[in-house]
Structure 1
Amino acid sequence: MKKTLLLLLASMMPFCANQAFAEPSTIGYAKKNIEVVIPKNPGGGTDTSARTLIEFSKDHLPKGVIFVPVNKPAGNGITGLIEVARAKPDGYKLVMTTVELAMFPHQNKSPVTYKDFTPLATTIADPVAIVVRADAGFDTLQAFIDSAKQQPGKLKVGNSGMGAIYHLAAVNIEKTTGTKFNHIPYNEGTGPSIAALIGGHIDAVLTTPGAVKSQVDAGILKVLAVMDEKRFELVPDVPTIKEALGLDVNVKMRAWAVLATTAKVPPEVAEQLVKAFTEVVNTPAYQDAVRKQGIMPVTIVGQDAYNMMREDDELYKQLIADTLKK
């Protein structure tokens, strides 16, 4: 009897070992490769964050199945968004949506909205920051706002293009504080606007803290406040706008990127994807990888990501309407 029991236990050991060390495939529905549309050019923050997430998620796929990233920046990214929004809702097409999805519909630039997607996981959700030269004499946001009130329309505030996130962030500050800026667009992107600030050609720029971290560390630039409900880990000593100005409400604006799939996918497909990506974004290895890219890791997934997208859609709808009235 004892010999039989030992033989039985010995025969079970390989099976138990395999069970202990096997990686579970949480995206079990996938029988073929999953395409990940990146509606941006290669090399940018959205592209890099998307590729990082799917690289760390590959072990959650069944054997022989992979994620296939495809850059489709045509039409300012709208072409790729439309393609996935109108794809068969089977989970075989994903897309990196960005904060522009909350703006374009209200600017008559896109026929699709956040409602056309099922959000899975957020890779970027950095707050907008108000940045000045360190030697500009504005030690606090209150000092900057006071100066703007004393000379309406004089302070030059740079952005990455009229109607884009950083211009609308400045409009939001105007609306909140009763000020008026001279908006200076740099359509080539955030880099030229930061260079203009360093060169003394403008008085402030709105961007994310990560975009100016090296200049802040070097003592060239200074972040006055962040547009969020809490302080940002990358610049923990910088107050929120609510703190800096003693407001009763938070002033939130975030530059986000959310990996999503087509709306109306079967619940079990969405559940498998959200579960897999949630596990990934919570791993230290993934979080370390995105930090090295200058991005602070976030764990906004599933319904929470949908809520963020919906809130921002409502915010930009009103901001864009206010801008058009001017």
Structure 2
Amino acid sequence: MNEEFIGALKEIVKEKNVSEDFLFKAIEDALVSAYKKNYSKYTNNAQSVKVTINRETGEIHVYAQKKVIDGLWDEITEIELEDAKEIDPRYEEGDIVEIEVTPREFGRVAAQNAKQVVVQRIKEAEKEIIYNEFLEKQHDIITGIVLRKEKDNVFINLGKMETILGPNEQIPSEPYNFNERIKLYIVEVKKNSKGPQVVISRTHPGLVKRLFELEVPEIFTGVVEIKNISREAGSRSKVAVFSHDENVDPMGACVGPKGVRVQNIVDELNNEKIDIIKWSESPEEFISNSLSPAKVLNVEIVDEENKCAKIVVDDSQLSLAIGKEGQNVRLAARLTGWKIDIKSKSQADKENVEA
């Protein structure tokens, strides 16, 4: 190893943003193994060996580490106290003496091993850096670029890595065109043998939440809080919001001037409908609000323990309250956590008469 190699190493450290200490320590550890393998006649696996590299010149030194013993037991791993004191009078029994044993041609062996270790450790370090960067963004939004579609999967470029948007994480109505920029929700970041694995989604309710945080300053600052979200991706979402400031209307803040804030989110989600619901501590009020845009006449808590409620709406509002294929009441039930039984006013009146 020489100064030119050390200079190249330091350039790699800067370019790849890896720790210089990490790289040199990895090379030194590898050289210990190389020494034991190539110079086994001088050593055995029990011997402790230390290798140092001068960070400026690349000069390499190999030291055998021997324990000071008063009475010789093992010539390879131990040194007599009397011999140790000849090296340095300050040595005492139990100390470790380092004796240089650098072979004459060890530099050639070192260079070969160093190159292999540098390539391997840089790959490992880059994987670790990428993993940590994405781990910080877990449960947050990231912008990706569509690369290609293969079967049911969409391959996405996240900048420093490529990942897959699986079929269950795709909004059904979206085309995912080549080079299209889309916002994605990072569901999970995992480690595996090939490097970091980033699980992304366009269907997760967290995407809606993060988009509102980006668009609505009152949510970002904590004045308005998103209490819950129920979503059927690509079709409709219901978002329950609450204001910690009585002077701030949570629904108005989310809608924005002329509806621009919520419209930006709708556009990002490929025209997915979004109902903004005012959250309430009162189950009756919250359930009533959750069935928006339908108007509710009455909410009766049938079973508080099992969270069952009966709702009465005007006859003209029944189909709106239930929604197409039951979607509105289904989303309302998920949003509130209550089982909702909807009756029209005429149905309810008939049941009351029969009772």
Shorter chain as denominator, the TM-score bin is under 0.3
Which one has the bigger helix percentage?
A: 1
Which one has the bigger strand percentage?
A: 2
Q: TM-score, normalised by structure 2?
A: 0.22
Which structure would you say has the larger RCO, counting Cα contacts within 8 Å and 6 or more residues apart? Answer: 1
Q: Which structure has the greater CA radius of gyration?
A: 2
Q: TM-score, normalised by structure 1?
A: 0.23
